Amino acid sequence: MTARFPTYFVSHGGGPWPWMKDQFGPAYDKLEASLVDMRRQVGERPKAVLVVTSHWEAPGFITSSSAAPGMIYDYGGFPPHTYQISYPAPGQPSLAERTAALLAASGLTSGVDPQRGFDHGTFSMLYPVYPEADMPVVQLSIRQGYDPLEHILAGRALAPLRDEGVLIIGSGLSYHNLRQFGAAGREASHAFDDWLRHAMLDLDPLERSAALLRWSEAPGARAAHPREDHLMPLMVALGAAEREPAALAYHEDDFFGSLAVSSFRFGAAAA
């Protein structure tokens, strides 16, 4: 019998980091360990993974519907070999259509894109979890305008997928200010991460959702997220498990020496 899977919001790290361990050293060890452990927490093998990626924005919620997605190297300034990376996981057109239908049934603008390939918010994050790259993967865009309620509503609409063998992962970053990625971002990242962990872990579900709707009022919020694209996948992951408890899936106080970053699980891990 297929389990009801938890959902995740993952702080996915920068660029093609799993393929740059010589350059980054131990900087990503904790994140990698948390992603490897995600597989254990999920337990039963999912039928497919739906990744809500912060690296794909569209006028509506669009799903990738190719049966054999290509690669999108949406980064710059990295070594040549990182532009030859292959993560050959199959797509699943039926899941793309099912996702779009659920969103449309909830009154949300949706559609499918048969050309969209895997961006680094998907392949870099999934490689430590499923290095075999044999798990069917479908991507879901975030919606332009970054309305937090729309993204929570999208998560609510997609909640039935959890009972259909689909693992939902929101891929973003709890701190995403590339102009202050280091010591200059210490104060804002810690202030915002303290607020975010309190909101996700300590508030009851109704208060938790309400807090996310007002995220921009949090300490350090706009310094942590000048553009909130990397926060929107959190809204979807939470919305899909809105009344279930949250757990801290990953946390560092000194990411790249200074930054506080976190990932969260919504719903119970496998026994």
Mean pLDDT of the chain: 96
**Rounded-to-5 percentages of helix, strand, coil across the chain:** 45, 20, 35
**pLDDT higher than threshold 70 for residue 156:** yes
What pLDDT, on a 0 to 100 scale, did the predictor assign at position 2? 63
What pLDDT, on a 0 to 100 scale, did the predictor assign at position 182? 81
Radius of gyration of the chain measured on its C-alpha atoms: 17
Alpha carbon of residue 231 to chain centroid: 9
pLDDT tens across 28-74, in order?
999 999 999 999 999 999 999 999 999 999 999 999 999 999 999 99
Quote the CA–CA distance of 52 and 236 in Å, as a whole number.
Answer: 8
Quote the CA–CA distance of 32 and 102 in Å, as a whole number.
Answer: 32
Which structural domains are found in the chain, ordered by start? 7-266 (3.40.830.10)
Structure tokens at 212: 């996310």
Query: Using 50, 70 and 90 to split pLDDT, how confident is the model at 211?
Result: very high
Q: Output DSSP code: residue 265.
A: E
| Whole-structure pTM value | 0.97
Quote the CA–CA distance of 197 and 271 in Å, as a whole number.
Answer: 24
Q: How many CA atoms lie within 13 A of 30 on its CB side?
A: 14
Find the helix or strand (DSSP H, E) in which 254 lies.
Answer: strand 246-255
**pLDDT higher than threshold 90 for residue 158:** yes
Residues 85 and 131: beta-carbon distance below 8 Å: no
Quote the CA–CA distance of 105 and 81 in Å, as a whole number.
Answer: 43
pLDDT tens across 218-258, in order?
999 999 999 999 999 999 999 999 999 999 999 999 998 89
Taking phi over 0 as left and psi of -120 to 50 as alpha, with beta for the rest, 170 belongs to: beta
Query: Using 50, 70 and 90 to split pLDDT, how confident is the model at 191?
Result: very high
Quote the CA–CA distance of 34 and 261 in Å, as a whole number.
Answer: 13
pLDDT tens across 83-102, in order?
999 999 999 999 999 999 99
Q: Collect all residues with Cβ–Cβ distance below 8 Å to 138 and sequence separation of at least 6.
A: 48, 49, 50, 51, 63, 64, 65, 91, 92, 95, 96, 99
Quote the CA–CA distance of 64 and 128 in Å, as a whole number.
Answer: 22
